[in-house]
Amino acid sequence: MQTISVVDSHTGGEPTRIIVADGPPLGNGPLAERLSHFREHFDEIRAAVINEPRGSDVLVGGLLCEPHDRSCHAGILFFNNTGYLNMCGHGTIGLLVTLRWLQKITPGVWRIDTPVGVVEATLLDDHRVSLRNVPSWRYRKAVSVDVPGHGKVTGDIAWGGNWFYLVNDHGRDLRLSDWKGLTEFTLEIRAALERAGITGAGGGEIDHIELFGPGTAGHADSRNFVLCPGGAYDRSPCGTGTSAKLACLAADGKFPAGSVWRQESIVGSVFEGSWQPASETIPDAAGPVIIPTITGTAWVTGEARLILQDSDPFRTGIRAI
Ligand code: PYC
């Protein structure tokens, strides 16, 4: 029998499950190497922690580990029902609130090692976290694709720690009651991008699709619907997705550095985002490279010891995908 200790939280409605003890042994190498090791040798642990009957498609997991970069306080590897994430904004906010719950950190600035670089996150109080994300940038503006049954859809491709296709002009109301329709539509967009061979820079898979509409009056600048890699929609406004959005706004000269963008999710939770110019240049970027700061809130929802018994036919979860 194997046991794995986890702490569950939600950030703006989107759940995160952090493995805080008894995770797989991945060594002390750089986080990107450890992620490959996780994928190649311990994928069953990912599946057991995330998938039913212990988890669900909506859950994002995080393996808390020792950092490789010694200037960092912690390392994190994110995963979901279909595989692994480079970075996760709502998950990092959940991580800090989890570390606070465990009394491992106090309010202040903490450096977190990830497979795509170091991020700095500030615990503002027991629930509120500001995340300084990885450099974010727009790769292509106004890329069109034919989506069967829906016609031509046009969007920008941008990096915010994951690859996003961001669509403003889609003719749909972003209502939670239509989550099934929005999920089907965005899955079709993603399949059409794949068929057309449209990717992020260096062939990076575009695994997140983001639709934007007007924010609820007086509440937010914009509302979004975000399709995640495993087919679930993000209940939060998506930290990496909001970073990609800020990169597009900056590239279009529509939103000045230092101002606060209020991004509302499909369930009505809000992240505040702002940006500063980054010092690095990226030759592929169609616009400035920015450093986004994303602020949101999270709450711990449970602590558990997951039990994986050898005789359990679903010891490693139900794999629907
Ligand atoms: O907040 O970056 C995010 C995220 C990615 C996938 C789900 N949430």
Name the active-site residue from 65, 72, 228, 238.
238
238 tagged catalytic: yes
- Cα(233) to centroid of ligand 1, in Å? 10
Q: What is the pLDDT of residue 320?
A: 67
What's the pLDDT at 86?
A: 86
What pLDDT score was predicted for residue 205? 96
pLDDT number for residue 217:
74
Specify the pTM: 0.96
> Residue 15: CB within 6 Å of ligand 1?
no
- Six token digits for residue 257: 């550095």
Measured in Å, residue 89 CA sits from the centre of ligand 1 at 5
Pocket flag, ligand 1, residue 116 (CB < 6 Å): no
CA distances for 58 relative to 16, 65, 145, 268, 278, angstroms: 9, 23, 27, 17, 32
Specify the pLDDT at position 219.
84
> 165: which strand partners?
157, 209
Is 228 assigned a catalytic role? Answer: no
Q: Which atom of ligand 1 is nearest to the CA of 238?
A: 1
| Location of structure tokens 């992240």 | 271
User: What is the C-alpha to C-alpha distance for residues 250 and 244, in angstroms, rounded to an integer?
Assistant: 10
Task: Confirm or reject: Cβ of 90 under 6 Å from ligand 1.
Answer: yes
Question: What are the 10-residue block averages of pLDDT along the chain, 321 residues in total?
Answer: 97 98 96 97 97 96 97 97 93 98 98 94 98 96 97 97 97 97 98 98 97 91 96 97 98 96 97 97 95 98 98 90 53
What local confidence, expressed as pLDDT, does residue 321 receive?
53
191 close to 178: Cβ distance less than 8 angstroms: no
Using the mean position of ligand 1's atoms as its centre, give its distance from the Cα of residue 310 in Å.
32
For residue 195, the CA-to-ligand 1 centroid distance in Å is 24
By alpha-carbon position, which residue is closest to atom 5 of ligand 1?
Answer: 88
Task: Locate all alpha helices (DSSP H) within the chain, ordered by sequence.
Answer: 31-41, 43-50, 89-101, 179-195, 239-251
